[in-house]
Structure 1
């Protein structure tokens, strides 16, 4: 009989963890999304860069509130964990970061992130990716995190490399964008890196 490999992260681990809040440079912080943040999500869906790279679709305020509620459900279901990148002194988020496609038994997940124009150029995404990586490895117990982005998205590539996610390869024609099929870069970081 073949011994079963135990799960890297036991079921229920993400549900047990509090949703942490972390300080970031530039007077920003990582915090859970709230229903009152819906206008920022609506704005992201209208932003041409966010639309081009992540294609979230257009959302009404009610639909944005439902999506935010869905993120809470997905966290409880141990499928994803999302944070708002927001001013520490209050106000609407300027970005989003999260780990989705969580495979707790296999110990992996994939980053999702974007910034609105108010957050771009601030250098905040690299420390945000690093902070959430450390949470995912040290608190949640994952083994591997990945970042996948269009090869044309040079800003995301820089963020991945600066955050300690070396390029592992290129996936040809891997994702359909509005302007056609894009090759995608695959970056990854291990707990042991």
Structure 2
């Protein structure tokens, strides 16, 4: 059955080029993951706060290396795009920012992030989310980005709002965390917001 509308983005919108490095303009860089990031990813997941609001644990550097391989392999498939957030001057890992659940035809994706413990309180997640959002809208042409977080994660809610993501509602018992089902706040930005 023919579609009555044209796709927002077509296959190749991401994969026709290498995954870019995206500077935040204020001392951070979003760059593709590298194999050498595995120890820092493993270390990040030893933080108890990660266990509270993330559905995975990381038991070894080898496991982290496997994740990094998956994150790197996802770019050509255009199903997700993951970046390491690093300090521009030192290259030290500060977090991760990603576009997940990419739907090219609809021009939509979900923005996700986490930060290492030493990055908290420095607006690393906000700055990274804003830079990736700008890139997704202005360089690629996405129409809508969504962002979800546990209603118990007040810091993540502040990040979403500061990055310009408008609260749209609550998805009841939408994500299973280690301590049970969490309601999730849904925020979104639309190109032109």
TM-score under structure 2 normalisation?
A: 0.93
Q: 1:92: which partner in 2?
A: 92
Alignment of 1:17-96 (within 5 A): 17-24=17-24, 27-96=27-96
Distance in 2 (alpha carbons) for counterparts of 1:45 and 1:189: 29
RMSD: 1.6
Distance in 2 (alpha carbons) for counterparts of 1:2 and 1:187: 32
- Please list the CA deviations of residues 36-55 of structure 1 after superposition, one character each: whole Å capped at 9, or x if unmatched: 00011111221111121112
Alignment of 1:140-155 (within 5 A): 140-155=140-155
Q: Indicate if the aligned counterparts of 2:79 and 2:102 stay in contact, CA closer than 8 A.
A: yes
Q: Cα gap change, 1:177/1:78 in structure 2, threshold over 3 Å: closer, same or farther? A: same
Specify the SS of the correspondent of 2:114. Answer: strand
* Further displaced range: 131-140 or 54-63: 54-63
- Please list the CA deviations of residues 12-51 of structure 1 after superposition, one character each: whole Å capped at 9, or x if unmatched: 1110233222333663221111000001111122111112
Specify the SS of the correspondent of 1:15. Answer: coil
**Structure 2 runs not aligned, ≥5 long:** none
Is 1:132 the counterpart of 2:152 in the alignment?
no
* Aligned length in residues: 193
Shift of 1:3: 4.3
Distance in 2 (alpha carbons) for counterparts of 1:130 and 1:63: 29
Distance in 1 (alpha carbons) for counterparts of 2:16 and 2:141: 13
- Please list the CA deviations of residues 52-105 of structure 1 after superposition, one character each: whole Å capped at 9, or x if unmatched: 111222242122112111111111100111111112223431210111110111
TM-score under structure 1 normalisation?
A: 0.93
**Structure 1 runs not aligned, ≥5 long:** none
Distance in 2 (alpha carbons) for counterparts of 1:30 and 1:161: 20
Distance in 2 (alpha carbons) for counterparts of 1:2 and 1:10: 16
Distance in 2 (alpha carbons) for counterparts of 1:23 and 1:103: 24
Specify the SS of the correspondent of 1:46. Answer: coil
Shift of 1:124: 2.1
Q: Indicate if the aligned counterparts of 1:24 and 1:124 stay in contact, CA closer than 8 A.
A: no
Distance in 2 (alpha carbons) for counterparts of 1:119 and 1:188: 24
Q: 1:118: which partner in 2?
A: 118
Q: Indicate if the aligned counterparts of 2:94 and 2:124 stay in contact, CA closer than 8 A.
A: no
